Amino acid sequence: MQPKFVKVVEVGARDGLQNECSVSTQDKVSLINALAKAGVKHLEAGAFVSPKWVPQMADSSDVLGQIDKSELTTFSALTPNLKGAELAFNAGANEFAIFTAASEAFTQKNINCSIDESITRFQPVMDFAKQHNIPVRGYVSCVMGCPYDGAVSLDTVVKVTKKLLAMGCYEVSLGDTIGVGTPQSTEQLLNALLEQVSADKLAVHFHDTYGQALANVYTALNMGIKTVDSAVAGLGGCPYAAGASGNLATEDLIYMLNGLGIEHGIDLEMLAQAGWQISEALNKQPTSKVSLALKAK
C-alpha cells in the first residue's frame, strides 16, 4: 500500500517565510536555488496576496524573476484571486495554488470572505490558468481543527475538497494548519475522503505544532497518499493562526522516506545545507532533528 515514490512539495520559501519579517529577496532566491540543486522538483516560491495583509511575500515577483528557472522544476505561487494569478503568471510561476478552508471563521480571517465566496473568486483564476495552460493546486486549511472554531466537520472537508477538484484543481492539499492532528484523526480524515476521492488527487500538509506531523505522514503513506508538503528546516506558520508552528521539516521527511526505501529524488545532505543557510540568515537553528543530528556528526 505504501507508494514507491513520494512527490515532495517544498513550501519553506512560502509557508516558511511568510511569517518571517526580515528576510532579504537575495536570501529567498539563494534558498530556492539551493533547494532546486538538492533535487527538489516542486517548490512553492511565493504568494501573490495583498502586501498589506502579508508584507513578507511582497517581493514574490522579484524572487520568481531572479531564481534559476528550469522547465523540469515546478515553481508555484499562491493566487487568491485573478489579480494574484496575473501577477504570478507575469513573474514566471508555472503553477498556481488557490486556498480556502473547511472553517468559515478561518476563511474570513485569512482571505476576508466565506468559503462559498472563495470558490466563486477562484473561478476567474481557474479560467485564466486554463487559458495559459497552468496547473492549479488547491488547499483546504483547518482540516483537523480551526484556531477560531475548534472542531471541524469531516463532511465540510470532503465537500470543499470535491468542489476544488470539480473546478479543475489537479490535486488538493489537506492543511493541518495548527498541527493538532494525530495518526488516529489522520486516519479518520483520510477514510472519509478516500470513500469519494482518489488518493492520487490528495496531498497532506501537516504543521508540526504538537510534534505529530511525521507520524501523521506515515499514517497517510500507509493509506496510499503519494504527495507530501514540508518545509526545509521546519520553517513556517500562518499569519492567521497564532501559535501554529512550522511545517513538517523536509529533512525529517526525507530521512524517514530513506528508511522506508521510498524514492523521492532529493539529496539529504544538500537539503540540510540549504536549511542551515536560511536558518543562519534568520539567526536561528533548524527545528529538524535530522538536520541537527547531521550537523553534530
Distance CA 76, CA 47 (A): 9
According to CB under 6 A, which residues from 54 to 93 bind ligand HMG?
54, 78, 80-81, 83-84, 87
In whole angstroms, the minimum distance from the beta carbon of 294 to ligand HMG comes to 26
Distance CA 136, CA 289 (A): 33
In whole angstroms, the minimum distance from the beta carbon of 137 to Mg ion comes to 13
Tallying the residues shown for the chain, one arrives at 297
* Site membership for Mg ion, residue 15 (CB under 5 A): yes
According to CB under 6 A, which residues from 90 to 109 bind ligand HMG?
99
Would you call 238 a catalytic residue per the annotation? Answer: yes
Which residue is listed with cell 468559515?
104
User: Which residues on adjacent β-strands are paired with residue 8?
Assistant: 228
In whole angstroms, the minimum distance from the beta carbon of 56 to Mg ion comes to 14
Other beta carbons less than 10 A from residue 243's beta carbon? 10
* Site membership for ligand HMG, residue 15 (CB under 6 A): yes
In whole angstroms, the minimum distance from the beta carbon of 258 to Mg ion comes to 24
Distance CA 237, CA 243 (A): 8
198 contacts: CB under 8 Å, gap ≥ 6:
none
According to CB under 6 A, which residues from 121 to 150 bind ligand HMG?
139, 141
Axis-axis angle for helices 183-194, 154-166 (nearest 10)? 50
Distance CA 292, CA 174 (A): 28
Please identify, using beta-carbon distances, which residue of 85 and 268 lies nearer to ligand HMG: 85
80 binds, among Mg ion, ligand HMG, none (CB under 5 to 8 A by kind): ligand HMG
Q: Which residues bind ligand HMG (CB under 6 A)?
A: 15, 18, 47-51, 53-54, 78, 80-81, 83-84, 87, 99, 110-112, 139, 141, 175, 177, 205, 207, 238-240
List the catalytic residues. Answer: 238
